[in-house]
């Protein structure tokens, strides 16, 4: 089987992290976002992954080539010279996706994190015999989204309703699809939306089915949802592979700690924290609901909560970083600095306290 991952564009919502690397290579739970998906695809027998990309393809491919041999999966690139939406990339990659097997192929949005029940989705797809399967997830406020109206027993999709004013259902598109090759005949090589143009036509012919996603789901393409997604991911990890989480008197709740990271005495770490490769957390530090990326140093008695600390950055002694502060790569906060929702661009030195959200350039 094959798969296409819609990598997308500039990752503006995750800046300043995406000023250093393309968004799919930003770490989530100590590994690049896109690697979560590639590993899940490999696990159920996918042999080739095509990346639909229009921004820094060389950086992406150079990075992922090291995983080709390690995972035993072919990774290729389909480059857009202009943005083609969510369906156009399928037409562009047609020759890469179609072969003599006639097997369906997966399409995934690179921002989506979940438990990826892909084996179950294959069974579902083969059982209903339609042309396309989409994964849907339940939400509490469906009026914010495009809602998928479906038959609860068979999964057959009846229609899509964009941001309904009255309740028509609570399931939305989760950005994971399994499609027969015949769907490529429906898509022209032009900017096209698979959600708004292609799927409604297939649903009108009674050939589109939806499977309700078990477990958690989150689009982690912006900082607030990234932090929420980390909590959901670590909760899932606790249920499935608790041995992968850190334990000890200084750990509270779910914490992912890289084997090479060093944590000093008197720290309190957690809940919902990921600490990356080569990090140094000095004595007396408090971390909660945050990601500390590769090579970061958190100095003595600093406090970080609800924030993302980018690669090789430093947080000074007694500093306080909170409320969705995002530090880019190689940022250095001085001692006793207070950052409340600040965004600091890469390679900056920030010493003055900031009690209000601001961008440090």
Q: What is the pLDDT of residues 126-174, one digit of tens each?
A: 999 889 999 998 888 777 777 888 888 888 888 888 776 777 778 888 8
| Domain formed by 226-350, architecture | 3 Solenoid (2.160)
pLDDT at 283 over 70: yes
Q: What is the DSSP letter of 145?
A: S
Q: What is the pLDDT of residue 9?
A: 64
| Phi then psi dihedrals of residue 71, to 5 deg | -95, -15
Q: What is the pLDDT confidence band of residue 111, given thresholds at 50, 70 and 90?
A: confident
pLDDT classification of 354: cutoffs 50, 70, 90:
low
Nearest-CA neighbor of 88 among 107, 112, 70?
107
Confidence check: pLDDT of 188 > 80: yes
Dihedral sign from CA coordinates of 172, 177, 179, 185: positive
The reply to whether 226-350 shares the fold of 2-219 is no
- pLDDT (mean) for 105-133: 91
Given a cut of 70, whether residue 351 has pLDDT beyond it is: no
Percent of the chain at pLDDT exceeding 70? 94
* Among 202-211, 281-290, 301-310, the least confident range: 202-211
pLDDT at 200: 87
Strands 171-179 and 338-340: unpaired
Q: Which of 342, 343, 295 is nearest to 15 (CA)?
A: 343
Per-residue confidence (pLDDT) for residue 142, from 0 to 100: 72
* Owner of token pair 């509270």: 252
The structural domains of the chain, with segments of one domain joined by +, span: 2-219, 226-350
- Burial of residue 361 (CB within 10 Å: 0-12, 13-18, 19+) is exposed
Fold of 2-219: Spore Coat Polysaccharide Biosynthesis Protein SpsA; Chain A (3.90.550)
Q: What is the arrangement of strands in the sheet containing 320-322, beginning at the earlier edge strand?
A: 268-269, 286-288, 303-305, 320-322, 338-340
Q: Give pLDDT tens digits for 222-280.
A: 888 899 999 999 999 999 899 999 999 899 999 999 999 999 999 999 899 999 999 99
pLDDT value at position 355?
A: 57
pTM for the model: 0.86
Q: Per 3-state DSSP, what percentage of the chain is helix, strand, and coil (rounded to 5)?
A: 25, 30, 40
Whether the predicted pLDDT of 203 surpasses 90? no
Q: Residue 133's closest CA among 148, 147, 146, 144?
A: 148
| 260 prior amide bond cis, ω within 30 | no
Can you tell me the mean pLDDT for 22-47? 89
pLDDT of residue 11: 60
**CB neighbours of residue 307 within 10 Å:** 24
Report pLDDT for 291.
96
pLDDT at 147: 85
For the chain, the farthest-separated pair of C-alpha atoms sits apart, in whole angstroms, at 64
* Structure confidence by residue, pLDDT tens digits, 68-95: 888 888 888 888 777 788 888 888 888 8
* Mean pLDDT of all residues in 330-350: 84
- H/E element, 320: strand 320-322
Q: What is the pLDDT at residue 235?
A: 94
Confidence of residue 122 (pLDDT cuts 50, 70, 90): very high
């Amino acid at each position: 089987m094959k798969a296409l991952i819609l990598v997308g564009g500039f990752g503006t919502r995750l800046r300043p992290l995406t000023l250093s690397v393309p968004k799919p290579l930003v770490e989530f739970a100590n590994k690049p976002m896109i690697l979560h998906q590639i590993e899940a695809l490999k696990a159920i027998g996918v042999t080739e992954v095509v990346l639909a990309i229009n921004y820094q393809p060389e950086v992406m491919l150079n990075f992922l080539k090291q995983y080709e041999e390690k995972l035993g999966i072919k990774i290729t690139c389909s480059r857009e010279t202009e943005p083609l939406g969510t369906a156009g990339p399928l037409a562009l990659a047609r020759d890469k996706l179609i072969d003599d097997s006639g097997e369906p192929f997966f399409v995934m949005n690179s921002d989506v994190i979940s438990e990826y029940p892909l084996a179950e989705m294959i069974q579902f797809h083969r059982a209903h015999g339609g042309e396309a399967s989409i994964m849907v997830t339940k939400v509490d406020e469906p009026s914010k989204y495009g809602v998928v109206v479906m038959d609860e027993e068979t999964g057959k999709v009846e229609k899509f309703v964009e941001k309904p004013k009255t309740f028509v259902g609570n399931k939305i598109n989760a950005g994971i699809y399994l499609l027969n090759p015949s769907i490529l005949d429906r898509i022209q090589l032009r900017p096209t939306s698979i959600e708004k143009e292609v799927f409604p036509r297939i649903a009108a012919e009674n050939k589109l089915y939806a499977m309700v996603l078990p477990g958690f789901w989150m689009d982690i393409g912006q900082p607030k949802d990234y932090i929420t997604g980390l909590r959901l991911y670590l909760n899932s990890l606790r249920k499935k592979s608790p041995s992968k989480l850190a334990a000890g008197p200084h750990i509270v709740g779910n914490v992912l700690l890289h084997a090479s990271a060093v944590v000093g005495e008197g720290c309190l770490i957690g809940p919902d924290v990921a600490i990356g490769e080569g990090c140094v957390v000095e004595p007396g530090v408090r971390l909660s609901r945050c990601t500390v990326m590769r090579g970061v140093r958190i100095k003595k008695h600093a406090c970080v909560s609800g924030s993302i600390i980018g690669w090789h950055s430093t947080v000074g002694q007694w500093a306080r970083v909170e409320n969705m502060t995002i530090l880019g790569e190689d940022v250095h906060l001085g001692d006793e600095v207070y950052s409340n929702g600040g965004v600091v661009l890469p390679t900056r030195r920030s010493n003055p306290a900031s009690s209000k959200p601001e961008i440090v350039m």
